Chain A
Amino acid sequence: MSYSVRPDALEKLTGQVLYGVDVERPGMWWGALVPSPAAAGRLVAIDASAVADEEAVVVTAADLPRLLPNGSGDPERPIFPSTAVRYRGEPVAAVAAPTLERARAAAARVRVRLDAEAPVEDLDRLFPDWPSPETMRDHPLVNGHVLARFGPVDRAFRTADELFQETYRTSGVHQVPLEPHACVADATGSVWHVTTSTQTPFGCREDTASLLGIPESSLVVEGSWVGGAFGSKGSALLEPYALVLSRASGRPVRLALSYAEEFQLGRTTLPSVLRLETALRNGRVVGRRARLLLDTGASLPGGDFTLGYAAGFLLGPYGAPALEIEGYAIRTHKPPFGPHRAPFIPQVAFAIESHLTHLAAHLGEDPIRLRRATVWTEGQTTTLGQRVGPFGLDRCLERAAEVVRAWRVDLPAGHGVGTGAGFWSTGAGAGGEARVVLTPTAVEVEQSEREIGSGSVLRGVAAVVERVLGLPPSHVVVRYQDTASGPFDSGVFGSRTVAALGQAAEKASRRLLTVLQERAGLRSTPRLAVADGRIVLEAPGTSAPVETLFTDSERRAGRLVVDGRHYGRAEGGIDPSRAVVGEFHPFTDFTAAAHVAEVEVDRELGAVRVVRYHAIHDVGTLIDRRTATAQVEGGVAMGLGEALTEEMLWRDDGRLENPGLLDYRLMTITDVPPIEVEFVEGFRGAGPFGAKGLGEIPIVPVPATIAAAIHDALGRPLFELPMTPERIARALAERTVDRPPVGRGAPA
């Protein structure tokens, strides 16, 4: 067993791996969802009498008490609405039939009768002027509110001699995993089973069980291979429907989304309006405020994590003598807001970083120098008063400045160079367990996460174990187990896999060495090595096949098993005197990146070509260079889409206008420029050996970086994502240069 870069490469390259969409069961039926035809309104009736297919099974809210052992499931989160619909496309019924064609035909014949109401879709229409605190206090659509303050904010803004105020708008963007959601469920026996494309098998089990009101112990979730997730395949989506369809039909049921459904049902990043204000006195920053209106779709009141988490990012990783942040989550008739690779933070970074770029231009300062003057360093405090840990952003910015200087030499006309920065935190909280299994010929890690693509499970966790044990690369195999047999782990999300699951594997590996050391009676910690295909224990003066240290029962089993656990502490750290209203979330560590882009802008067409890109990342400690590099390359490309082309367009009636790849445009192989990736080490993070998570941070600075480069090329600011040719052309047509009017910052 050995491989060049990825252990799963050959299987994937020859079409051998099975994703959620590929799973089949004997006797399986096919499911289809019946979508709500309106975004808002009262449900009058669901009429299945026109379904001609006699075998087809139709399930609605009324059938749940009959199908579920304990009532209708979670009353707070019904899987089917029984009174009002919350968004267009919300499943109001589900159908199973012997073939997909028959299931879809039957679903199309289910009549949904509604007293439709006018939906709320657009933040600008809802709040044509920036809402006052009085407006928001009892507003029925306010789902959440956060407010934090530090220093003499009121005085700073009262005594300012200049107010630099801008308003930014960002769009809904979709994760677009190439594999749509898909699962096969079997609820015909006493223990229900679902095989699904999920990035959190245990999270999916918890969520599905809770939605259906069944104990977790009566549900097994088996992860399939995952064809991309990016946050979209965390909690339950299709699994509860597939299970009730299986229950109703008495057969295993496959349920998968079409691409159009994937766009319409997906829980993802929704639009926002951000206002940033910097108070200046004699050209010096004396205070800064951020205001946020975030569309959280049909999220439950207080049920969205993003607002409280995003709050900590609103002013970026920069200090000021007085700071204030305030945000509101607004309920609209869209699907609930959902996790999406650093949820909403590329959009937040676009606003604050662009604000600083424009401020530097206004003050006649270098934009990188302006950032470095107030960027956090270890020991300082965050906006919310948490102590900053090891943080390499200043180093990244220093390198970015060098790249910018080099690229400015002989820069062609019409080109621009810009820099953006960002920070993130490794999701090393929650918990995970892993087993390290030593056999005479191999070291294996048994755990419960499926590889979702980044390589963090199959390569990242293996690299941690290899490093602890002293084995060369590609000698540790990571094996997957379902929720019935595998150890608990909270999921592949939040940049946590190497940092948190990796720590469980690290601890198990260290314990394994301790066990072997004790048994061999060694004074120092041994290492493992491979000799003639066998695993041997090596220490000064000793080299022995590991099985010579096995107990009798281990020898019979052919394996020595050691467990490791990592449960992150829920650290405090937020200064309660700063947190005025709402719930905020502390950072586990501080990951940083500074990016540089060169763009060419066609002034006539407004078209942007990204010429080259350089990404500098503080990773704490590098665990596997090629996997890390690949993460950054992929994150940058996804960020270029958020910067330039990706935008979900909802009509006033709640219909998504562009639920497909022709009109929701992803970056192609000819759009993405060469990407140079550089790592900064030495600023230790929360993971093994001081590693920091790298799943999400690569996307964070990208829209800001492209915006800065376009600003450099055109001398005009942009205030809205994505920066489409239309918006660029409009910015060029604006007479105001460099500075929007106070009030609505973006051109109308």
Chain B
Amino acid sequence: MTSGARVSLVVNGRRREVADVPFGERLLDTLRWRLSLKGTKEGCRAGNCGACTVLVDGRPMLSCLLLTHEANGASVTTIEGVEALSVGRAVVRAFEAEGGLQCGYCTPGFVMALVGHLASPGADRSPAAVRAALEGNLCRCTGYASIVRAAQRAAKEVA
């Protein structure tokens, strides 16, 4: 039906050649349904909730708004690869210690957004900046309180 083409990605450090990817396919769907990386969550599919956040060449991106072909050649880090990053390990530890999650559905998006922020060169680690970095991620369970505590703990540990 839709014509497609091969896409080459480095996903969590591993080169992945994906054949016949339709030109309109979103990175979110490629990750979830072609590469079986289900940790990246599909939420609103419209860029409003942040649940699908992944790192593309180190920057947090909404994988529901990114066409897979736009990411051709890029390095993609998903939640499954987060512990390979030192900042990723610190963030996971901080969320674990503070219980910064409930149902967990928004959690991969929060973790990737925070890792992307804290790992960027010269990142502002002040509480206000850390909070602002997570403004595009919605959580329905926690009221954000435990996420704020976790994020601030992570910011301190990374510093």
Which A positions have Cβ atoms within 8 angstroms of B?
A: 3-6, 8-10, 12-19, 21-22, 101-102, 176-179, 225-230, 258-259, 451-455, 626, 630, 633-638, 660-662, 666-670, 672, 674-675
B107 touches A13 (CB 8 A): yes
- Note all chain A residues with C-beta closer than 8 A to B96: 3-5, 9-10, 13
User: Taking A10-B96, A14-B92 as contacts, is the C-beta distance between A259 and B101 under 8 angstroms?
Assistant: no
- Note all chain B residues with C-beta closer than 8 A to A229: 103
Q: Does B44 contact A (CB under 8 A)?
A: yes
- Note all chain B residues with C-beta closer than 8 A to A14: 39, 79-80, 82-83, 92
- Note all chain A residues with C-beta closer than 8 A to B134: 669
Q: Does B118 contact A (CB under 8 A)?
A: no
User: Taking A669-B144, A672-B145 as contacts, is the C-beta distance between A15 and B51 under 8 angstroms?
Assistant: no
Q: Does B63 contact A (CB under 8 A)?
A: no
Q: Does B78 contact A (CB under 8 A)?
A: yes
- Give min CB distance, A7 to chain B, whole Å: 10
- Spot the interface stretch: B13-21, B66-74, B135-143: B135-143
Query: Which of A3, A102, A178, A660 contacts B139 (CB under 8 A)?
Result: A178
What are 30 A-B interface contacts by the 8 Å CB criterion?
Answer: A6-B99, A13-B79, A14-B79, A14-B80, A14-B82, A15-B82, A17-B104, A21-B42, A22-B38, A101-B1, A101-B2, A102-B1, A177-B105, A178-B51, A178-B105, A178-B138, A178-B139, A225-B104, A227-B104, A228-B140, A229-B103, A453-B103, A630-B142, A633-B142, A638-B143, A660-B44, A660-B48, A661-B44, A661-B138, A675-B143
Q: Does B56 contact A (CB under 8 A)?
A: no
- Note all chain B residues with C-beta closer than 8 A to A674: 145
Cα-based distance from A670 to B128 in the complex (angstroms): 9
User: Taking A3-B96, A660-B46, A669-B135 as contacts, is the C-beta distance between A630 and B105 under 8 angstroms?
Assistant: no
- Give min CB distance, B76 to chain A, whole Å: 13
Which B positions have Cβ atoms within 8 angstroms of A?
A: 1-2, 32, 37-46, 48-49, 51, 78-80, 82-83, 92, 95-99, 101-108, 111, 131-132, 134-135, 137-148
- Note all chain A residues with C-beta closer than 8 A to B79: 13-15
B105 touches A259 (CB 8 A): no
Cα-based distance from A476 to B143 in the complex (angstroms): 27
Residue of B nearest to A11 (CB): B104
The 5 closest A-B pairs by CB, nearest first: A15-B39, A5-B99, A453-B103, A637-B143, A227-B105
- Note all chain A residues with C-beta closer than 8 A to B138: 178, 661, 666, 668
17 extra A-B contacts, CB within 8 A, seeds A15-B39, A669-B134: A4-B96, A5-B97, A12-B101, A13-B111, A14-B79, A15-B108, A22-B38, A178-B103, A258-B45, A454-B102, A454-B141, A634-B140, A634-B143, A661-B138, A662-B46, A669-B139, A672-B143
- Note all chain A residues with C-beta closer than 8 A to B49: 178, 661
- Give min CB distance, B34 to chain A, whole Å: 12
- Note all chain A residues with C-beta closer than 8 A to B147: 669
- Give min CB distance, A635 to chain B, whole Å: 7
Cα-based distance from A229 to B99 in the complex (angstroms): 19
Cα-based distance from A669 to B135 in the complex (angstroms): 6
Cα-based distance from A3 to B111 in the complex (angstroms): 19
A662 touches B105 (CB 8 A): no
- Give min CB distance, A257 to chain B, whole Å: 11
Cα-based distance from A669 to B1 in the complex (angstroms): 42
B45 touches A259 (CB 8 A): yes
Cα-based distance from A12 to B150 in the complex (angstroms): 15
- Give min CB distance, B81 to chain A, whole Å: 9
Query: Which of A9, A179, A635, A670 contacts B143 (CB under 8 A)?
Result: A635
Q: Identify the interface centre among B45, B102, B103: most chain A CB within 10 Å of its CB.
A: B103
- Note all chain A residues with C-beta closer than 8 A to B143: 633-638, 667, 672, 675
Residue of B nearest to A102 (CB): B1
Cα-based distance from A451 to B101 in the complex (angstroms): 13
- Note all chain B residues with C-beta closer than 8 A to A176: 140
- Note all chain B residues with C-beta closer than 8 A to A454: 102, 141
User: Taking A634-B143, A661-B46 as contacts, is the C-beta distance between A453 and B39 under 8 angstroms?
Assistant: no
User: Taking A8-B104, A19-B105, A228-B141 as contacts, is the C-beta distance between A662 and B48 under 8 angstroms?
Assistant: yes
A230 touches B44 (CB 8 A): no
- Note all chain B residues with C-beta closer than 8 A to A675: 143, 145
Cα-based distance from A174 to B85 in the complex (angstroms): 38
Residue of A nearest to B99 (CB): A5
A633 touches B145 (CB 8 A): yes
Residue of B nearest to A99 (CB): B1
Cα-based distance from A672 to B143 in the complex (angstroms): 7
- Note all chain A residues with C-beta closer than 8 A to B98: 4-5
- Give min CB distance, A475 to chain B, whole Å: 17
- Give min CB distance, A698 to chain B, whole Å: 9
Cα-based distance from A132 to B147 in the complex (angstroms): 51
B99 touches A9 (CB 8 A): yes
- Note all chain A residues with C-beta closer than 8 A to B32: 22
Query: Which of A3, A4, A10, A637 contacts B144 (CB under 8 A)?
Result: A637
Cα-based distance from A8 to B102 in the complex (angstroms): 9
